Amino acid sequence: MAVVLILVLIVVGSVLFHVLSPWWWTPIASNWTYIDTTLVITFWITGIVFVAVVSFMAYCVFRFRHRPGNKAHYEPENRRLEVLLASGTAVGVAAMLAPGLIVWNQFISVPADAASVEVVSQQWLWSFRLPGADGKLGRAETRDVSPENPLGLDKNDASGLDDVIIEGGELHLPIGKPVHILLRSVDVLHDFYVPEFRAKMDMIPGMITYFWFTPTRTGTFDILCAELCGVGHPQMRGTVVVESDADYQTWLGQQQTFTQLTASAGPAN
């Protein structure tokens, strides 16, 4: 009976902890409520299976406990039970995967009117690049990174000369406008993650990864690195500020372009 009580308490305690827990998601600040919904579906499916399996274990321990004179029935094959378990598992897995696949398709289908913003990671710093007046980001190569050219922009690409460079500062975004986030790492594996946006993606050296979102709430939000990237990983923090379009344009006009940055750096020694 002690085992039965422990199993029952585990089920009841787990359900109560989930329902009454004060540790829940932070308020969402982007369009990705789909991700919250997908997680809730997963919680429900796995929670029901957990309760059913542990409750069944408690029942079996109680129902088939040792009794003098009772003899266990040995049944190595039960086709009906095997079909039931296999089909039930398949339905459960499909129910968990299907919403995720739908959301993933939305996650990588960037709207045509999304503004491009590049995020560059390095141990242990976040930098950002926004298009200039021409609305285009110029070419960049990691091998071109230097103290005078921290993001490795191609100086021969006219599209990049007016790009706005923000090295180790705040990233500002206008509310209500979709943003196409281009991710690049100059050293090791990093991950750009803003919990309130419900969106993140690995940053892989030698590749440009991406995702998109639409900020839906003004405020200041922390950028975290969600991959262990070295001893300074816990201190690799940044900030995203979501504000009105007027405030965003004011902030944007105060930032340095690539041409201004290289001019202020002066000739390399």
Predicted local confidence at residue 21, as pLDDT: 81
Nearest 10 degrees: Cα torsion 223, 228, 230, 231: 80
Which of 219, 198, 174 minimizes the C-alpha distance to 26?
A: 198
Which range, of 22-36, 85-99, 123-137, 254-268, averages the lowest pLDDT?
254-268
Residue 147 CA to residue 216 CA, distance in Å, equals 36
Domain ranges of the chain: 1-65+80-108, 115-264
Q: Percent of the chain beyond pLDDT 70?
A: 98
Residue 35 pLDDT greater than 70, yes or no: yes
Q: pLDDT per residue over 137-150, tens digit each?
A: 888 888 888 877 88
Residue 57: pLDDT band with limits 50, 70, 90? confident
Which of 179, 134, 188 minimizes the C-alpha distance to 161?
A: 134
Residue 128 pLDDT greater than 50, yes or no: yes
Q: CA angle at residue 163 from 113 to 208, to 5 degrees?
A: 65
143-172 burial, b if ≥16 CB within 10 A, otherwise e? eebeeebbbbbbeeeebbbbbbbbeeeebb
Amino acid at 172: H
CATH class of 115-264: mainly beta
According to DSSP, the residues that pair with 215 across neighbouring strands are 30
Predicted local confidence at residue 15, as pLDDT: 87
* Token reading at 62: 């109680």
Q: pLDDT per residue over 180-228, tens digit each?
A: 999 999 889 999 999 999 988 999 988 899 999 999 999 999 999 988 8
51 φ/ψ sector (left φ>0, alpha ψ -120 to 50, else beta): alpha
Q: How many helices (H) and strands (E) does the chain have?
A: 5, 10
What does the pLDDT average to over 238-247?
Answer: 94
Give Cα 35 to chain centroid, integer Å: 10
* Token reading at 29: 């600040």
